[in-house]
Copies of this chain bind each other. A is one copy, B any other.
Amino acid sequence: MSLLQALNPRSVAILGASDNPIKAGGRPIDYMLRHGFAGRILPVNPKRSEVQGLAAHASLLALPQAPDAVVISLPGEEVGAAIDDCVAVGARLAVIYSSGFAELGEEGRARQADLVARARRAAGGGLRLFGPNCQGVANFATGAILNFSTMINENTPADGPVAIVSQSGAGAAILYGGLRRAGIGVRYMLSTGNEADVCASEAVRAVVEDEGIRLVVLYIETLRQGAWLAEAARLAHARGVAILAVKAGRTSAGQATASSHTGALAAEDALADAFLRQHGIPRLADFRELIDYAPLFLSQPAPRGRRVVSISNSGATCVLSADAAEECGLAMEPFDEATLAGLSRALPSYVTARNPIDMTTALLGKPQTFGDTLQALSGGAAADLVHVGFPIGGEGYDFGAFADQASRFARDTGVPIAVSVNQDWVARAFQAQGVPTFWSERAAMRGLALLAEQAQCRPQTESAGKHAGPPPAASHSTALDEPSSLDELARAGLPVMRHLVCRDADQVRSAIGTLPTPLVAKGVSAEVSHKSDHGLVRLNIREPAQALQAFVDFAATLRRLEAEDGGMLLGVQHKADFELALGAHVDAEFGVAVMVGQGGVLVEALRDVQFLVAPFTRVQARQALGRLAIAPAFAPVRGLPAVDLDAVAGMMVALGDWMLEQGGRVQSVDANPVLVARGGAAPVIVDAVVCLAREDA
């Protein structure tokens, strides 16, 4: 039985059923009774014979029929036994309200793992858990409301095309309340709580299977099991369903609040960010944005590009719209000849046909001018997206007609439209025709940019095919020394500095005759990082004497540091215009993550880095490089040639693919610096640390 099917139970038992409809164990019964659940409601309460007018039973095992789903509203210490009963009666879904588990720390995590272990005993792994410590789930299509949110009382349920998935119960309720107040129907409200079993990613995967769903709004604090969400994104894309996410913990302060540990938190968010981007899931800022942009995603077609045309009756709005478009990364391009010709027919002579179009008073008393202007844009040569700003309406403006024209334009042309207004009555006129309105040009333009992002970013399609799936993350790993690390990367097909390792004076002399000078000399030891800080790096070696002196000095230094002496590495010294850092690691939730950024000693100070989750394409790698703050410097400057970013992008792809192929043997790669020069010179890795999974740990 699929998780989606489990969310459509024909019978629901409630452990801890309460006669009081405002208690957690009473609310789902009350909700199901009032909101038309056609299945059977089975209250379980050993102390009562009747609950809210329904016959109550002493235990799950004493029920007259086996329930499909069970709500567990019991003290934490009774949940384990309840799960056993669920297994015994063959329930498919248990929704655990109870707290006292992983949210309390280590001991609670063990208790939580025990719940999952018990559930796994069900035949075919057929018992799925929501929670513990969750507000429950609801299916408003069937009235199966296994949920105690008060918001269901405040806003009457209505089935519709939206699914809510939230790690936070409050978050689910905020979204539900906001969407319902906006008149939007909601089919699923799933809060996943501690996610002992079903996590938000899998819940999204389940609801996008439902053909009635057009939009999933997702709130997460920790993104788990990325593979489920990746699959959900692929299915959603194929079905034309939009997934919009809020991932809280964008900042270190937010992440410290979301979880009690602190290390590597910022990277966790950066990875989630990369993952969502790669899978065509726009990341919104907060609940308010999820609610405000839902009508846009539900009503407007998917745009074909990022070119926006803005039309307004106010010059100030035109300026603010142009600002907003540029800030949102939309292209507000000049019109081509054909469009100009069309516009000049549509517009009176005193209106300049430039983008944004300031109609001044052209629409006063002449509503068809608006429709004609839209018509002139409908060829698709000018606009992928249309913004209309009516900051002020008054006598002489026929907003009913404008709304009708706007609605028809979007429907007929497939070009989405968003309107910014300041007056309620103007907003209502557009909303009545299904045209989404916003309270500022910025908000409207951001909505259009989100639409474009969602439409353009195709989710990965190759993930499972080419590779065996994400490799396992090891809890311990061992760092290789520099020459071994460079050798690993060379075998991965990455360009590394040409080098030789010398164990004695003869090898030093031989090496310096073999490699083109100048050379760099480095002491080899996996136990010493930051070698230059310890005088274990010398540049500009040209003579055997210099190399031999370095060899003697390095050996002495390593003895003094009591570090293993792996000899001396002599490498060809390269010139560089930029030092990059290139890295990768196996992440437990996302698989292989590849990082690229400004390198050298400033890598941590500047934190100008971008992540990608492997596998990814060379185009995605190029885009990631383009998002670096340093990116503009890679272009031709003052007659100097550009940096060959394609070569760097190729290295990123190769590194990600190789890490996947290694199946977890290689846990991390830290190549820094990667020397990059303007012009034709190929990038080269001149230092690296590769860490291998440690079997014994």
Contact = CB atoms under 8 A, between A and B. Distances in A.
Contact of A170 (B173, B288, B391): B391
B633 A251 contact: no
A131 interface: no
A327 interface: yes
B316 A171 contact: yes
Contacts of A136: none
A120 B601 CA distance: 64
Nearest to A167: B316
Contacts of A289: 440
Contacts of A638: 530, 533, 601
B606 A253 contact: no
Contacts of A633: 602, 605-606
A252 interface: yes
Interface stretch (A318-326, A503-511, A549-557, A615-623): A318-326
Interface string A398-442: 000000000000000000000000110000000000000001111
Contacts of A479: none
A352 to B, nearest CB: 10
B248 A323 contact: yes
A667 interface: no
A632 to B, nearest CB: 4
A681 B280 CA distance: 50
A251 B168 CA distance: 38
A630 interface: yes
A483 interface: no
A315 B605 contact: no
B170 A320 contact: no
B257 A356 contact: yes
Nearest to A333: B253
A288 B174 CA distance: 23
A490 interface: no
A64 interface: no
B323 A250 contact: yes
A316 B221 contact: yes
Interface string A230-255: 00000000000000000011111110
A254 B319 contact: yes
Contacts of A422: 174, 177-178, 287-288
A545 interface: no
25 contacts: A150-B394, A150-B395, A154-B394, A168-B314, A168-B316, A170-B313, A170-B392, A248-B319, A248-B320, A250-B327, A251-B323, A251-B327, A252-B326, A254-B322, A257-B321, A257-B322, A257-B356, A285-B442, A286-B442, A287-B391, A602-B632, A604-B637, A605-B633, A605-B635, A629-B629
10 shortest A-B CB distances, which residue pairs? A254-B323, A168-B316, A251-B326, A150-B394, A170-B314, A288-B440, A257-B322, A253-B322, A248-B319, A253-B326
Interface of A: 22, 150-151, 153-154, 166-168, 170-171, 173-174, 177-178, 219, 221, 248-254, 256-258, 285-289, 313-327, 332, 356, 391-392, 394-395, 422-423, 439-443, 530, 533, 601-602, 604-607, 629-630, 632-633, 635, 637-640
